[in-house]
Amino acid sequence: MSKRRTSRRTTRLIRIGDVPVGGGSPVSVQSMTKTDTRDWQATARQIKALKRAGCDIIRVAVPDMEAAVALGRIKKASPIPVIADIHFDWRLALEAVRQGIDGLRINPGNIGAEWKLREVVAAVRDRAIPVRVGVNAGSLEKGLLAKYGHPCAEALVESALKEVALLEKFGHSMIKVSLKASNVPTTVDAYRMFAEKSDYPLHIGISEAGPPAVGIVKSAVGLGVLLWEGIGDTMRVSLTGNPVQEVRTARQILQSLGMAKGAEIISCPTCGRTTIDIQRLADQVEKRLRGIQKPVRVAVMGCVVNGPGEASEADFGVTGANGSGMLFKKGKVLRTVREDELLDELMKEIGKWRP
């Protein structure tokens, strides 16, 4: 694998519950629940499903006091650290802290008067709770919009630095920062600029990326660029849809850059030479390998033209024609089996393998 263009950005280390963020720690994957937070049982079930998919940290929306009070039960049921997402009402932040949350996401500028923010900061500081300063292009301060004319990267960075300074003013430095826009170039530029000005850890993401067909592409491009440049300590892929897909996509982005363990699947696009159901086989292999922590590369090929060659670059490979197929390991044929046996035989070999 080629080297990254730049080394990993050096940032301060904070901890969200038991998950280290920054300081050279592995990039963690976050998502956000899409249940009604007031329904703590449904929220807990979704968090557990996200954990199984590979989520490290979860964020929940806190729109009112009933939701804030529900955080205690959610926190007890959650297998991963919980971040409360608060806007406008400082009392919700205080209640979230009382309920034992692991992190707080706020925009200090919309909490209200400075005395309200001071109370929130005192509460999180006493319990060593990190705060994410979340700056979003869709909710920039009117003064910055008037100054820059539109939500550009410079405006996002100025807003973030101002909000960080407010937290520092009241003695809190367990901070991470996000600077999100739905526009990929704006987001990338904002993170680059901020990374030059501060060593706080960064939560990266493309805001309102869209439905999966669009959002996965935008997120892979934007977050892939940042991660390749060494920028990003924790990440979320924001999709309109099932949050499990957010986590899987984030994991795939990290794996494609060699930044996370897991299965990498190579499969041919198929053509007129293909005589076995490669699409079905590749889908089954992907499903069976979800969540695997082995760094394994698997090739699923449809014919002898590219099959053996691609399989030689993989840890394991299968290729077939006319109802049968060959199983490869490190480029060498292990055996020929019937098409309906390929999947199970492949899984047996991967299960026995110790990389």
104 touches 84 (CB < 8 A): yes
- The closest of 250, 171, 235, 159 to 198, measured between CA atoms, is 159
- The closest of 294, 70, 154, 58 to 145, measured between CA atoms, is 154
Q: Which two tokens stand for residue 132?
A: 């994410």
Give kind and range of the element (H or E) at residue 175. Answer: strand 175-180
Query: Quick one: pLDDT at residue 93?
Result: 94
Give the range among 23-32, 135-144, 242-251 with minimum mean pLDDT.
135-144
314 touches 297 (CB < 8 A): yes
Query: What tens digit of pLDDT does each residue of 76-124 get?
Result: 999 999 999 998 888 999 999 999 999 999 876 677 788 888 899 999 9
Reduced to 3 states, what is the DSSP secondary structure of residue 161? helix
Query: Quick one: pLDDT at residue 266?
Result: 79
350 touches 344 (CB < 8 A): no
Q: Which two tokens stand for residue 51?
A: 């954990």
Instruction: Name the band, by pLDDT with cuts 50, 70 and 90, for residue 60.
Output: very high
Residue 278 clears pLDDT 80, i.e. is over it:
no
Instruction: Name the band, by pLDDT with cuts 50, 70 and 90, for residue 298.
Output: confident
Residue 264 clears pLDDT 50, i.e. is over it:
yes
Query: Quick one: pLDDT at residue 333?
Result: 83
Write down the pTM of the prediction: 0.87
Catalogue all structural domains in the chain, each as residue range(s) with its CATH number.
Answer: 14-256 (3.20.20.20), 263-352 (3.30.413.10)
Instruction: Name the band, by pLDDT with cuts 50, 70 and 90, for residue 305.
Output: low
208 touches 182 (CB < 8 A): yes
What whole-number distance in Å separates Cα of residue 289 and Cα of residue 278? Answer: 16
204 touches 223 (CB < 8 A): yes
Burial class of residue 42, CB neighbours in 10 A (0-12, 13-18, 19+): middle
Reduced to 3 states, what is the DSSP secondary structure of residue 75? helix
Query: Quick one: pLDDT at residue 44?
Result: 97
- The closest of 269, 323, 348 to 301, measured between CA atoms, is 269
